[in-house]
Amino acid sequence: MIKNDLYLKALRGENVERPPVWMMRQAGRFLPEFRAMRDEYDFFTRCRTPELAAEITMMPIRRYPLDAAILFSDILVVPQAMGMDFKMVDSVGPWLETPIRTMEQVQNIEVPNVNDTLGYVFDAIELTLQKLDNDIPLIGFAGSPWTILCYCVEGKGSKAFDIAKSFCFQNPEAAHLLLQKITDTTIAYLKRKVEKGVSAVQVFDSWGGMLSPEDYQEFSWKYINQIVEALSPLTHVVVFGKGCWFALEEMTLSKVSALGVDWTIRPEYARVLTNHTMTLQGNFDPARLHSTPETIKKMVNEMINRFGKDRYIANLGHGILPNIPLENAEAFIRAVVDWKAN
């Protein structure tokens, strides 16, 4: 039995005294202990070494009174398992030497046995759960098929992912085949995470907002929904689509347990679009953590009051930035933990 199940209560829609809080990328570059380990091990070595991944997952938990842990990993371990040799290059980010640009390349991609190719992630879950000792839930995650496709086709990060979008529009048959292969791999991957003991899974659609509402339905949401349909009988599924407020109404009709929202939508409007029935997560602008601790506390209180304490998970509207002061991150978390109804 998990001692602090506030996060799970929010996902179940139960009444709570205060919202739970965690931060996307909380086990990340803003922590000095993370940076110290980064100097010793490269990025994917940390992802592929269960002991390191478990230790990194625990770093923010030891510092702050968070209500959930999220396993340290990366969305690109899935395409790596499918045979795409992604690297993490300094000052560049994700890099794929030979991007996927043709039907022949797509046809040659295999849906792997995740136990063989991603076993290190499942081992990291076991080690992390031992360290957590049932104190708080552990979240597993994956990238959305569309977001993974963006990196596979573009070969690197991008401001607009124009190459990836053009590939989909010019070669829709190849695009849909690639999306389906990513979807099938992701479903198997997340199911195994649940079997290993995570309490919920989150799907990150970081680049969904690059698409028009119509294209989002065709190239992103219908694949995310396959994941939701497959995983929702087994666990709580949270979907976070950055810039995807236009899809909230349709997402609400699915079997998701919660929807993440970014800072570009007012809490009141997010509630309207989700018919006041959905647990929402977000939506503090990560850059706002550069404000003073006093301002952060005031803004967090306003955010909670606007969303309402129930069916709500306090979080950022995207991942925490690497240059955020430790005391400002703590101010955000403490403001939620200390929140009281007016």
Work out the pLDDT band at 341, boundaries 50, 70, 90: confident
Return the SS3 of 201.
strand
Q: What is the pLDDT of residue 85?
A: 96
Instruction: Indicate if 63 belongs to the active site.
Output: no
Mean pLDDT rounded to a whole number for the chain:
97
pLDDT interval class at 22 (50, 70, 90) = very high
Tell me which of 46, 64, 101, 151 is the catalytic residue.
151
User: In 217-266, which residue ranges form alpha helices assigned H by DSSP?
Assistant: 222-231, 248-252
Does 199 count as an annotated binding residue?
no
Beta carbons of 245 and 202 less than 8 angstroms apart: no
| pLDDT higher than 80, residue 342 | no
Residue 5 has pLDDT above 90, yes or no: yes
Decide if 42 is catalytic.
no
**Under 8 Å between Cβ of 173 and 103:** yes
Residue 7 annotated among the catalytic residues of the structure = no
* Residue of 5, 67, 74, 184 marked catalytic: 74
- Chain-centre distance for alpha carbon 221: 15
pLDDT digits (tens, 9 = 90+) for 115-166: 999 999 999 999 999 999 999 999 999 999 999 999 999 999 999 999 999 9
Q: Which fold is adopted by the domain 6-337?
A: TIM Barrel (3.20.20)
In whole angstroms, what is the distance from residue 97 CA to residue 152 CA? Answer: 10
Say whether 74 counts as a known binding-site residue.
yes
What confidence tier does 185 reach under pLDDT thresholds 50, 70, 90?
Answer: very high
What integer pLDDT is reported at residue 90 of this predicted model? 85
Q: Bridge-partner residues for 138, per DSSP?
A: 69
Strands (E), 169-222: 200-205
Q: Residue 214: its pLDDT value, please?
A: 98
Closest by CA to 13, choosing from 273, 277, 228, is: 277
Query: What pLDDT score was predicted for residue 91?
Result: 85
Judge whether 262 counts as a catalytic residue.
no
Residue 114: pLDDT over 80:
yes
Please state, for a pLDDT cut of 70, what percent of the chain lies above it.
100
Question: Which of the following is catalytic: 29, 41, 215, 306?
Answer: 29
Q: Does the annotation mark 25 as catalytic?
A: yes
Which tokens sit at 215? 């294209």
318 labelled binding-site residue: yes
Please enumerate in sequence order all residues whose Cβ is within 8 A of that of 77, keeping only pairs 6 or more positions apart, or say none: 44, 47, 48, 118, 121
**Is there a binding annotation on residue 120?**
no
Contact 152, 143 (CB under 8 A): no
What's the pTM value of the predicted model, to 2 decimals?
0.98
